[in-house]
Amino acid sequence: MKRGLSILFFLSAVLCCSVAQISVQWGNIDTRYPVEECTNIKTASVSSATAWRGERVNFQLLVGNKNVETQVSYSFGELKCGNKTIASENVAGGFVQPVITDKFTGCGHHDIEAYGCNLSADRITDDATTVLSANTYRGLWLTVAIPADVQAGTYTGSVTVTADGKEYKRQYKVKVLDRVLPAPAEWRFHLDFWQNPYAVARVHNVELWSSKHFELLRPYMKKLASAGQKVITATLTHKPWNGQTYDPFGSMVTWVKKADGTWWYDFTIFDRWVEFMMECGIDKEITCFSMIPWNLSFRYYDQATDSHKEMKCAPGEEQYSLFWGGMLKAFAAHLKEKGWFEKTFISMDERSLQQMQAAIKVIKEYAPGMKISMAGLYHPEIESDITDYCLDIETYKSYTPELLARRRSEGKISTYYTCCSAEYPNLFTFTAPADAEFIALEALARDLDGYLRWAYNSWTADAEKDSRFTAWPAGDTYVVYPFSISSVRWERLVQGIQQFEKYKILYNEALENNNRTAVRKLEKLLRGVDITKIATRSNKMVNEFRNGLNSF
């Protein structure tokens, strides 16, 4: 009898050990939770947020499994405040999947394995289920979009996690203030992420510029528009950046040298791209790259030989002026016919003063009135010619208060950008999430109009799994994933842009109402945004700033 009981207890223990042991707790949005070592996780519990109507707020739930591998699913419920509701359709998110990353490498080509192979929780999938191995954690990200027409009040929502037939329900609260954040299309923040339609064609294996290609592009560009994107990235030349990305940019304009030696320019693809982007809600600027490509080589179709040829010429040379002069005249006439001339910019990036001066001279001669944009170093000699000027974070202190005030009075745009050269703040896959939110606050603190990033979706070979690239730190080439999947970086960047907008609204109201107390409080709050402390205090700074705004 005792032997039988012993066997029974043994079998019970085996069965018990074969059942997943699930834990579900609130984490915080400042942490990229590792996928392993679930028993060592220490987390601050954050299950409440404050928002304006029209704002999006983020949460992160932490799901752990301390036993055998198991499948886990989730569902989002509606939010309720008395008889008022926010529908569950306003809650989006998913499990935060890890991608391979490295560490800060700076700029320059390197062996992809040279800086290590680590995992970073960044890709917010929209899969309804995931598999949790034994002794692992997984973040579950929630983004709650507060409808602009909802009534103020404290709303309670719920998340249900299901594993091994059991349900784990967790509640959270959103205090909705009686303030309204305008729609993204109306935001003042000048967001300029360069789009790469060529990468979308490759990843989805569709013909470039086909109807299917445009259909697949739409969710990516709608997501970009929902962040307040202002700029359409267009290309006038083949490989303007000398093919620096895994998917090189082609030209949206076909240059044709006819058999009689005259030139003709086909703008069909350019027009389709611009019209498509405007349909997606991005329509403030069209930036056209580049009169000064990195290799100073220009592809065209030669009708006489029925082949593509390359012309090499540099700004300042007579051949360069004639080559570009004819195209600029035709392009300007075409833009005016389409009604796009006033919002189109001839754009260059990181080019020398001498090259810029020579290119500007050609633009003024052949397309007078055409606007110019540039991202790169500060050149006072040409500043007045640059309508949209973007300086690297290493040199943006060249913007003096007087310079910014004058440019703003002239209707010009002044922004900054980060790339492979800056470790903080940035948008790498290993970057602290709060750094992404800080980016917009830094623009606010410097009195800049916004931010530029060179790569919205220039994906690596296997972007869903490995964010490393041969030339720059991991994640430098994209912030959203194939199939229009979001990231922790992207959601936090948008959250920062919203704080930029809220501050501008509150500050302008305080000035208009001569509310000096509010002005002083807001200015003190902004002084807390200190980039010199970002390496160790980004979490504290962004949270204090966000909480401070919500106290008004």
Q: Of residues 1 and 429, which shows the higher confidence score?
A: 429
Helices 488-512 and 534-550, axial angle in degrees (round to 10): 50
Mapped onto helix, strand or coil, the DSSP state of residue 422 is: coil
> Which pLDDT band holds residue 34 (cuts at 50, 70, 90)?
confident
For the segment 54-83, the average pLDDT, to the nearest whole number, is 95
- Give the orientation angle of helix 211-225 with respect to helix 197-204, to 10 degrees: 120
Query: Averaged over 260-271, what is the pLDDT?
Result: 97
Query: Average pLDDT for residues 40-66, to the nearest whole number?
Result: 89
DSSP for 441-489 reads: HHHHHTT--EEEES-SB---TTTTTB---SSSSTTTTBSSBTTTBEEHH
* Over residues 130-146, mean pLDDT: 94
Whether residue 233 contacts residue 197, with contact meaning beta carbons closer than 8 Å, is answered with no
Mean pLDDT, residues 477-497 taken together? 98
What is the per-residue pLDDT for 10? 36
Helix axes 433-445, 534-550, angle to 10 degrees: 70
pLDDT at 111: 86
Q: Are strands 91-101 and 413-417 parallel, antiparallel or unpaired?
A: unpaired
pLDDT at position 8: 37
Q: Report which of residues 46 and 411 the model is more confident about.
A: 411
CA separation for the pair 67, 275 (Å, rounded): 53
The CA distances from residue 78 to 90, 95, 157, 169, 486, in Å, are: 8, 19, 6, 13, 22
Q: Of all residues in the chain, what percent are helix, strand and coil, respectively (each to 5)? A: 35, 30, 40
How far lies 195's CA from each of 282, 326, 411, 513, in Å?
12, 27, 25, 41
Distance between CA atoms of residues 341 and 333, nearest Å = 8
SS3 236: coil
Q: How confident is the model at residue 112 (pLDDT cuts 50, 70, 90)?
A: confident
Q: Which of 251, 486, 276, 389 is nearest to 478 (CA)?
A: 486
- What are 89's two structure tokens? 């359709």
Q: Enter the tokens of residue 167.
A: 């349900």
Query: For the residues of 85-116, what is the DSSP string, one character each?
Result: EE-GGGEEEEEEEEEEE-----SS---TTTT-
- Per the model's pLDDT, the better-predicted residue between 108 and 341 turns out to be 341
Predicted pLDDT of residue 38: 55
Q: β-strand 118-124 against 91-101: which pairing, if any?
A: antiparallel
Q: Which amino acid, one-letter code, is at 165?
A: G
Q: Is pLDDT above 90 for 343?
A: yes
* Domains of the chain and any CATH numbers: 20-180 (2.60.40.10), 185-485 (3.20.20)
**What pLDDT sits at residue 294?**
87
For 136-240, strand residue ranges (E) read 136-145, 153-163, 166-180, 190-193, 231-235
Return the percentage of the chain with pLDDT > 70, whole number.
95
Q: Does position 167 have pLDDT exceeding 80, yes or no?
A: yes
What are the φ and ψ backbone dihedral angles of 184, each rounded to 5 degrees?
-50, -35
pLDDT of residue 179 exceeding 60: yes
Tell me if 64 sits within 8 A of 22, measured CB to CB.
yes
For residue 3, pLDDT beyond 50: no
Looking at residues 167-174, what average pLDDT do you find? 97
Contact at 8 Å (CB) between 457 and 194? no
Which residues on neighbouring strands pair with residue 145, listed in sequence order? 56
Q: What is the pLDDT of residues 287-320, one digit of tens each?
A: 999 999 989 999 999 999 999 999 999 999 999 9
Average pLDDT, integer, range 218-222: 98
Name beta bridge partners: 101.
118
Residue among 227, 187, 229, 188 nearest 413 (CA): 188
CA–CA gap between residue 282 and residue 226 (Å, rounded): 9
% residues pLDDT > 90 (the chain): 88
pLDDT at 428 over 70: yes
Whether 329 has a pLDDT exceeding 80, the answer reads yes
φ and ψ of 251, to 5 deg:
-95, 135
pLDDT at 531: 96
Name the token pair of 151: 């009534």
pLDDT tens-place string over residues 373-422: 999 999 999 999 999 999 999 999 999 999 999 999 999 999 999 999 99
pLDDT in tens, 151-164: 999 999 999 999 98
